[in-house]
Amino acid sequence: MQTTISSPVTFTGTGLHSGRPVRMTINPASAEYGIWFKRVDIEGRDNMIPAHWASVVPSRLCTLVRNDANVEVSTIEHIMAALIGCGIHNALVEIDGPEVPIMDGSAARFVEGFIRAGVRELADPVRMIELLAPVEFAEDDAWARLEPADGFLIDFHISFPDQAIGTQNKSLDMSNGNFVRELSDCRTFCRQADVDAMQANGLALGGIPGENAVVVDGDHVVSPGGLRRVDEAVRHKMLDALGDLALAGAPLKARYVGHKAGHAMTNKLLRALFDQPDAWRLVTCDDATARHLPGVGVRRSDLPLTA
């Protein structure tokens, strides 16, 4: 069955790039509603923005959605990953600013809030997007692909010159609570030189190493406390991919493979997918399939100790 959150959950924090204080409340919604953002600080024009691949506009370093009235919300990837990773299909996200709070740089606090509030089943069945043929998008030496699979899986490969990250590979089945256990606490990461350049250009003003991001410099992890997992970087890229794929509008029955891919590439992959109607179909989940969707059966004990 489709689901929504059982009761509203509110998060407060700052935006990673703006440094601006933000209050965000995730509210229950009816079946077939999907995920919508509402900018409660804006009046006099349309302040509703669908969490949908077609609403994504190019943005540096994050995923940003915008409506036809030029009202936007950025850095939505972590909250979207938390929603799909907890099996929440319908919700209204009210936010009083243009950027989702970064929290600790992962999705763990969002997940903890959702588990505490609980998830409520709705009467309508879940429909999912089943891949019938591979679809790929590539630029330079980076690429992303969706291919048929029996379930929802993510494979990711990254390679960075900094020895603190280096080359990392990871494959995970996203069924049930695997996102919560394996990915939810993995933080965004960046190089010290990139942080300096972004802040010089008025970005990453809310970034604090150790509090909401992992910062590396060569073979050294600058952030106090170091890494939560030895492969935290590739796990966070998988978290981002899950959040960006949540904008497909329905759960996926597919394998996603990312090679040096990022937010923009995953969105371009979704656009390529929906430009090929013979590569996918919308199907109603049977009971066996529904039992293995992301988030089904998640418990508080699934949360990593860092949450």
Mean of pLDDT values over 240-256: 97
Taking the C-alpha atoms of residue 232 and residue 26, their distance in angstroms, rounded to an integer, is 27
Query: Looking at 12-16, 45-49, 140-144, which range is the least confident one?
Result: 12-16
Query: Looking at 30-44, 178-192, 233-247, which range is the least confident one?
Result: 178-192
DSSP structure string for 100-136: -B-TTSSSHHHHHHHHHH-EEE-SSPPEEEEE-S-EE
The CATH class given to the 3-121 domain equals alpha beta
Q: Has residue 78 got a pLDDT over 70?
A: yes
Burial label for 258, CB within 10 Å (0-12, 13-18, 19+), is: buried
Decide if 263 contacts 239 (C-beta within 8 A): no
Considering the chain, tell me which residue range(s) the CATH 3.30.1700.10 domain(s) occupy: 128-293
Q: In this structure, which topology does domain 128-293 adopt according to CATH?
A: lpxc deacetylase, domain 1 (3.30.1700)
Predicted TM-score (pTM) of this structure: 0.93
Other CB atoms within a 10 A radius of the CB of residue 108 amount to 25
Q: Has residue 99 got a pLDDT over 80?
A: yes
Taking the C-alpha atoms of residue 289 and residue 307, their distance in angstroms, rounded to an integer, is 29
| Positive or negative: CA dihedral 234, 238, 239, 244 | positive
- Beta-carbon contacts of residue 79 (< 8 Å; ≥ 6 apart): 24, 26, 93, 100, 107, 110, 243
Closest CA to 259 of 143, 120, 114, 132: 143
Mean of pLDDT values over 267-279: 98
- pLDDT in the model for residue 211: 67
Query: Looking at 101-105, 159-163, 219-223, which range is the least confident one?
Result: 219-223
Q: Has residue 97 got a pLDDT over 70?
A: yes
Query: Which residues are identified as catalytic?
Result: 263
Considering the chain, tell me which residue range(s) the CATH 3.30.230.20 domain(s) occupy: 3-121
Q: Has residue 92 got a pLDDT over 90?
A: yes
